[in-house]
Structure 1
Amino acid sequence: MPEPKTHKITGISLSNEPFEKYFRMFGILRQSKDRSQWPAETLYAAPYKPLLLLSILDLLEQGIIKTNLIELCQELGELFTLYCSKVLAPEKIGNIGMPFYHLTGDGFWQLIPKPGLENLSSEKNSASGLKKVLIGAKFDDELFNLLVIKEVRDAFRRLLIQKYFLESIQQKLLELSQVNKAVFEYSENLLKKPSQNLNIKEVAGSSVDYVKQVRDQAFRKAVVKAYEHRCAICGLKVITAEGHTAVAAAHIVPWSISKNDSVTNGIALCHLCHWAFDEGVTGISTHYTVLASEQLTLSGNAPGVFLMMRDRPIFKPDINERLPDIEALNWHRKNVFKRL
């Protein structure tokens, strides 16, 4: 009996009819095409469906998606935004609600409405609107059972990148999927060992800035997660329906000096509090209370909330091992915080 032929790209047996069926469907996604609206990098077509699917494949790879339920979660929104930033101009903001809804027209994706909220007509173009009425979405069960296999995920990822994006950026998108996996693994390790400055495992053939990308993104991811997206100084917590968060991760002792990405050398801060902490007009005491510099009271200043927050406890991580390192805070008070 002759050996069954294999797919020339994936090496998967052509006798696998479900694979061939869905591989073909992933290659003919319905897209809006307009040379005046979309760049050459996306072959002059809306890239949102393939970018959403690439983001979902990454969450499957990371083990965040474990069942055939895809929710409009913060992790999915973050990855989708990251992929969009690689192929679209900064002013072209990706709306994850559009592909999440419109993938229903491609034959393998179904929305799961909340009971009694089956009418989506007024919510279909908005992530916040969809979150009000949807539990999430699902693939055909047959397709999901294929996508849990790494070799199949890799094949579908290559197809999406080769089919819908200009050759000059295909390697960048493939590497991004590697970076996303490394970021997830490294950030989880940082959270498990919050006081340790861990090494990043390099990937053969990666670009020179691979380690920097992983380090920057994993540090931010780990610290923001440790503080549950809440600013340690003012307590602000806002996550949009698209998965964008109001806080970022700040090094207490700057990376340029410490070379230290441990969670305990980080603190989650909103943009205003981040600026104030870096400028030294705020600080944190050894008792984890907010310090406010007397410079805030100089003539012409209107310090507002910073003086109101003086001597208040910071908003801490739930796990004590993730609290800011006392020696790092001492360094900040000695070298950055302005007494007057």
Structure 2
Amino acid sequence: MRGVGAEPFGIPGPSGPGTTIRAGVTTITVMDWLERAAKLRQWSRDGVRAPHKPLLLLYALGRFQADAADELPYSAVEADLKQLLVEYGPPRGTTPAYPFHHLVSDGVWEVRTERGVGSPGTGVRELRASRATGRLAPDLRVALQREPSLLVRMARVLLDLHFPASLHQDLCDAVGLELELAETDALAAPGRRQRDRRMREMVLTAYEYQCAFCGYDGMIDSAPVGLEAAHVRWWAFDGPDEVDNGLCLCSLHHKLFDKGVLGIGDGHRVLVSQQFIGRSQAAREQVTALTGRPLMGPQPGLPPIAAAHRSWHTSQVFRGSPRSGPPELNRTGVSA
């Protein structure tokens, strides 16, 4: 990654090629900020999700969009980020204090206390007692004010790299971000992994254009409607664009699958989280009644979901324990 103060270079955008933001005596380009967002230092091991910093940065961008001068007290961030981690983080618990402190090292965030600039550490008591506040780094705030499109680009980079597309709008709503509809691919570069555009057609064909969970197979003018190709192991976490990592799902069950309400157990049967609560007849019929039901598809001769991808989804996305199903269902959802 290029450091601050290196020779400026830019990317095509609304302000033209080579857009450069000058803050203080250094020169930081739009690309520099996008690279910082893309390369947040995160704990990583064998595909384990750690979206704590991306969630905090998205939250901070949303607050900046609402009020550029706003400072974020740790006491407020703690409650909001904890809820975001519950909804969009991995099943294991964690404390918001870690990203609040450690995001400073990425050059996009600053922490202040009554003693001035600097974080007191990751201790929750210290952060509360010192009345710590956080906000986007000064140079980044200047850059966002001078180049409004940067906020949209940074947010899209974070969303694309850490979350499936089915969750993007919900996550934006949760952090108060209003993004432009214009597409952005600011970090496209040689060597960057690209999605296989054939993935959707391959997966829908494999499952014969019906939802693998409920069998929905709606069409309009001979075109499928409300059917989507879902990655089991998310693309952002090295999930391949292959049939053995894909499911044809209706829009509802795709969202529930990506939120961890639904999963896949051994025997390729549907897991339903005990944490899901739905009192209506519709919720029972469309969700809880799926418990233990075998997946529909893929058609003979095509590979089922690979055990490694099922295990990743169960450990990194599925919420809590599954509801009781038929005796032959492995309730862990993890291949032996």
Q: Would you call these one fold, judging by a TM-score over 0.5? A: no
Which one has a bigger Cα radius of gyration? 1
Tell me the TM-score normalised to structure 1 length: 0.41
Structure (1/2) with the larger strand percentage: 2
- The structure whose residues are more often helix, as a share, is 1
TM-score normalised by structure 2 residue count: 0.41
